[in-house]
Amino acid sequence: MPAMPAPVLSPRRKTRKIKVGDVYVGGDAPVSVQSMCTTKTHDVNSTLQQIAELTAAGCDIVRVACPTQDDADALHAIARKSNIPVIADIHFQPKYVFAAIEAGCAAVRVNPGNIKKFDDQVKEIAQAAKDHGTSIRIGVNAGSLDKRLLEKYGKPTPEALVESAVWEASLFEEHGFHDFKISVKHNDPVVMVRAYEMLSERGDWPLHLGVTEAGPAFQGTIKSATAFGALLSQGIGDTIRVSLSAPPVEEVKVGIQILQALNLRPRKLEIVSCPSCGRAQVDVYELAEKVTAGLEGMEVPLRVAVMGCVVNGPGEAREADLGVASGNGKGQIFVKGEVIKTVPEKDIVETLIEEAMKIAETMEPVEGASPEVIAAS
Nearer residue to ligand SF4 within complex by CB, 43 or 345: 345
Which range, of 98-106, 111-119, 129-137, 307-315, touches ligand SF4 by CB under 6 A? 307-315
Task: Assess 279 for contact with ligand SF4 (CB under 6 A).
Answer: yes
Task: Assess 274 for contact with ligand SF4 (CB under 6 A).
Answer: yes
Nearer residue to ligand SF4 within complex by CB, 55 or 276: 276
Tell me the closest approach of the beta carbon of residue 80 to ligand SF4, in angstroms.
Answer: 52
Residue 208, SS3 per DSSP: strand
Which residues, 6+ apart, have CB-to-CB distance to 75 below 8 Å? 41, 64, 66, 86, 88, 99, 100, 103, 104, 105
Which residues make beta-bridge pairs with 105?
Answer: none
Q: In a 10 Å sphere around its CB, with 0-12 CB exposed, 13-18 middle and 19+ buried, how is residue 276 labelled?
A: middle
Helices vs strands, H then E, count in the chain = 12, 15
What single-letter amino acid sits at 148? R
Q: Which of 234, 276, 342, 370 binds ligand SF4 (CB under 6 A)?
A: 276
Tell me the closest approach of the beta carbon of residue 307 to ligand SF4, in angstroms.
Answer: 5
Tell me the closest approach of the beta carbon of residue 325 to ligand SF4, in angstroms.
Answer: 8
* Rounded distance between C-alpha atoms, residue 145 and residue 111, angstroms: 9
Tell me the closest approach of the beta carbon of residue 308 to ligand SF4, in angstroms.
Answer: 3
Q: Which of 313, 314, 323, 371 binds ligand SF4 (CB under 6 A)?
A: 313
Tell me the closest approach of the beta carbon of residue 337 to ligand SF4, in angstroms.
Answer: 17
Q: List the one residue out of 132, 125, 129 whose CA is nearest residue 168.
A: 125
Task: Assess 240 for contact with ligand SF4 (CB under 6 A).
Answer: no
Task: Assess 323 for contact with ligand SF4 (CB under 6 A).
Answer: no
Nearer residue to ligand SF4 within complex by CB, 271 or 311: 311
* Rounded distance between C-alpha atoms, residue 304 and residue 319, angstroms: 9
Nearer residue to ligand SF4 within complex by CB, 230 or 304: 304
Task: Assess 246 for contact with ligand SF4 (CB under 6 A).
Answer: no
Query: From residue 96 to residue 125, what is the string marking binding to ligand SF4 with x (rule CB under 6 A)?
Result: ------------------------------
Q: Which of 7, 154, 275, 297 binds ligand SF4 (CB under 6 A)?
A: 275
Nearer residue to ligand SF4 within complex by CB, 277 or 373: 277
* Rounded distance between C-alpha atoms, residue 309 and residue 126, angstroms: 62
* Rounded distance between C-alpha atoms, residue 196 and residue 235, angstroms: 11
Q: In a 10 Å sphere around its CB, with 0-12 CB exposed, 13-18 middle and 19+ buried, how is residue 109 labelled?
A: buried
Which range, of 30-38, 311-319, 345-353, 368-376, touches ligand SF4 by CB under 6 A? 311-319
Contact predicate 96/68, CB 8 Å: no
Q: Which of 114, 233, 312, 370 binds ligand SF4 (CB under 6 A)?
A: 312
* Rounded distance between C-alpha atoms, residue 230 and residue 189, angstroms: 9
Contact residues toward ligand SF4 (CB under 6 A) are 274-277, 279-280, 307-309, 311-313
